[in-house]
Structures are given as C-alpha cells and as structure tokens.
Chains A and B, each alone.
Chain A
C-alpha cells in the first residue's frame, strides 16, 4: 500500500497545500473544523478536483495536473466512508452492500453480514437503522466493493459516546487487517487510539507530520500542542530556568528553557512521565 499526495487547491479562506505519503498504516489528518481535512479526502477520492499537483495509489496515477490525468471517482478504487454514511435510501441493507460489490455478490453479502453482525437486517431500509447499524452497513458496503484504500471522514461524529467507544474498537480491529487508511478527525482520542501516524493540518497547510506516539509525547508546533490537549499560554523567558506564562500570570521553572519561543504548553502528566519537565513544551506560533 502506497499513497502519495501532493496537491494545491485555492479555497475561499485559504489555499490548501498539502503533501504526504501513506504506507500500510492508519494515517490521521488531524485539525480543527474548516482546516481543509475533508476537502483533501475528497480530492483523493476524485469528488473534488485540486488546482494542481499529483495523487498516486500503488503506482497508479489518480491525478496529475502536469500530465492532464484526472481519473473519475469510479476508476480510483478508493473507498470513502462518509460522515453521514450516505447509504442509498431506496435500497435495503442487502442491496446497499451488493449494489457495488465486485465478484461473487452473494458470498460477499453473507461474509459482510456475518462480519458486521447485521443478521436480520438484510431487508431493512436505511431509515430503519440506528446510527451504529448504519455505520456498519456503510463499512460493509465499502469492503464489498473494489476499494484498495479507505478514507474515513469523521466516522464517529454522528454517534453517542458509548456507541462511539464500541465502534471505535471494531474499526480499530478492522483497520489492523486492512491495508492503509486515512482518518480525518478533530478528535484527539480517535487519533490516539486509531492512528499510527498523524499530519496536523492548519489553514490548509500541514504544520507537522509525526508518529502518533511522538506527536502526543512531544508536540513540536503550537497547533499540535493545542490539538493534542495541552494547556497553552503566551510566554516569555525571564531567567535561565524560569518562564513567565503571561496568560496564567504565573512563573514556571524548567531545566532547559530555550531562547526562541513565545508560547508554553503544559500537559497533564502521563503515568509514565511524572517528571514535570517532560510535560512542558516551548513553542513558536
């Protein structure tokens, strides 16, 4: 599995300009709402067209502005899981799953009904399903199709927290066995539990790409610190080992205070990082 993305697209408030590579891993596009995450996914799927750049999947060119290639979404073999699931309302669960299924439709149906515990719902229509059931059908529908790669657009935002927890576990299990996937989300707990690698997206630009571990342990940018849940204050150095956190009106002591920073971020200590210095970060905006 190898996805290469390097695209630019002018949007209303900013220009989307992103480049990243995804291998056999769950890659999170992490950012606040309106930062360009969803539009990036839509460009990969072919629902939106970038202004320029290139997208390749396993050596196939999906989009290349220089070579004038722009495959229609049908030919990209990229599975897209929509935030609102986008099930076909005029079709039953079974029809939703088999409509786009490739190969032996019946065995794929049986296999997916089994796998996602949809027994007895084969003849139900989407408006008769709960949120969790709808999501399972949507995933089953993607897996029965020809998709080589998964795009997950805020897959849990429409669910209540208990269901979310349960489905996250299911999805995590599934993603372990599936090649690669991109997860778009603004929720740090989803990033932490589901992804291996993270790109922090801010106003259309990637400010940081890191392994998920590293991003949470040592955020290197202000956006990463805020998104991963640190408390942040404007700050300045007042002595070799002392920092004044302006917004909190409080001085902090740390061993290695750099010279060049204007923000300080503090995270509630993780169990294995009790030492205060490990949980304080000096950042520039």
Chain B
C-alpha cells in the first residue's frame, strides 16, 4: 500500500502549495500592466515541456553542483531523491493548471464589479477575499481538482528529480513503471486500476459539485 499512501500524501501537500501559489500568481498576473505575457509563459512552461525536461531542470537547479544546491547544503538540506523532491516536482507540473483555471475565473468577473467596489471605498484586500475569490469559486475548485489529479499522476519529473525509491519516493505511477519493468503485470494492473479509479472519482465529484452550483445560482 505504500506507493498509494505516498502518492496521496505527495499530491495533497503539493495541491495545498499549488492552491496558494497558483491563486497568488493568477492575481498578480491579472494586476500586472507590463510583463504579463512573459510571466505567464514562465508559469505555463512546465505544462508544455516534456516532464522529463522539467525534472532535469529541477535536478540542475537543486542539484549539489548548483549555487542553490550548495547553499542549501550548508543547512544540511538536500532535495534530490527525497520525498520533498517528489512534492516539488508535483507542484511545478500542476501549478500551470491551478494558475490558468483561476486566472480564467478571475478574468470572467465583470471588471465593472471590481471598479464599483473600488469607487465604493472597499480595499483591494477586501475586494480579493469578498468579491474575487467568491465569484471565482467554481474555477478555483476546478483548478484544485485538476492540480490534484495531475499531481497524483505525475511521472517524468518525479522519476528524474525524486527517483523511484520504494517506501520513500515511489509513487503509484513510478511503481507501475517499475512493476512493468520487472514483468509483474498483476501488480501494475492493480496500481493502474487504483490510480484511474481515484482520478475518475475526483473529477466526477467536482463535476457533480459544479453542476449543483449552477442549479442553485
């Protein structure tokens, strides 16, 4: 059961991080007047790059030979081939989904509503919490589910950056790969079925939730 627990733990922690970072980035990019497309491209890049390339870059950035790796080493922090690396890999590949769906939801809000709130004297902080977030709720929820399922299924960046250490960094997707390599098709089928079922349940649950939202509003 270990790969399943590690997968869910990794995806859950990654989704919490992605949730806050994604919403913050979406808000920032919406507010930016210049440099919007550059920042957007940087955030979206992991979605279009092959995950192995993302993992390779993460290795370069956090590896022992990089400046950051050296710096972290002074505090006895290493990421490569640890569970933390699996979380980072999952965050980087799922962030574009969270960011883009949230940004889309923010941009769907009538700009006059924001302008009205401003002229009424409502602070940007209160506009964010009481107007932007509640009116982008469906989009944010969809972003969370997409990010979570993407984080659960992450393979390429994880195996490059976090490795495939059983009991430590071996997730369902890397376990399936290892099982197939070892010709253990029964095990691979078991893990694959569990992963597919979990993802299906999450997406179906969110669809149901969004549909009932639409009915009440």
Contacts and interface: CB of A to CB of B under 8 A. Distances in A.
Interface of A: 42, 45-47, 72-80, 82-84, 86-91, 99-100, 102, 125, 127, 141-142, 145-147
A102 to B, nearest CB: 8
A132 to B, nearest CB: 18
Q: Which interface class (under 10, 10 to 19, 20 to 34, 35 or more) fits B?
A: 10 to 19
B112 A84 contact: yes
Interface in B103-131: 110, 112-113, 115-124, 130-131
17 contacts: A45-B119, A47-B118, A72-B118, A74-B122, A78-B119, A80-B116, A84-B112, A86-B110, A86-B115, A87-B113, A88-B130, A89-B113, A89-B135, A99-B120, A100-B122, A145-B121, A146-B121
B112 A99 contact: no
B119 A80 contact: yes
Contacts, number: 70
Nearest to A141: B120
A74 B118 contact: yes
Given A47-B119, A73-B118, A100-B117, 18 more contacts: A45-B115, A45-B119, A73-B115, A74-B122, A76-B119, A82-B112, A86-B110, A86-B112, A88-B130, A88-B135, A90-B131, A90-B135, A91-B130, A99-B120, A100-B121, A100-B122, A127-B217, A147-B120
Interface in B34-68: none
B121 A88 contact: no
B115 A47 contact: yes
A142 B217 contact: no
B166 interface: no
Contacts of A76: 119
A195 B113 CA distance: 27
Contacts of B167: none
Main secondary structure of the interface of A (DSSP, over half): loop
B131 A46 contact: no
A76 to B, nearest CB: 7
Contacts of B121: 74-75, 77, 100, 102, 145-146
Contact of A99 (B110, B130, B217): B130
Contacts of A90: 130-131, 134-135
A83 B134 CA distance: 23
B201 to A, nearest CB: 28
A82 B134 contact: no
Given A74-B123, A82-B112, A99-B130, A88 B118 contact: no
A89 B131 CA distance: 9
Main secondary structure of the interface of B (DSSP, over half): helix
A88 B119 contact: no
B142 to A, nearest CB: 17
A195 B115 CA distance: 25
B182 to A, nearest CB: 53
A88 B131 contact: yes
Interchain residue pairs A-B with the least CB separation, the first 8: A100-B120, A73-B118, A86-B116, A86-B112, A90-B134, A80-B119, A47-B115, A145-B120
Contacts of B112: 82-84, 86
Contacts of A75: 121
Contact of B115 (A80, A89, A102, A127): A80
Nearest to A95: B130
A73 to B, nearest CB: 4
A82 B135 contact: no
Contacts of A79: 119-120
A128 to B, nearest CB: 10
Contacts of B110: 84, 86
B94 to A, nearest CB: 27
B105 to A, nearest CB: 13
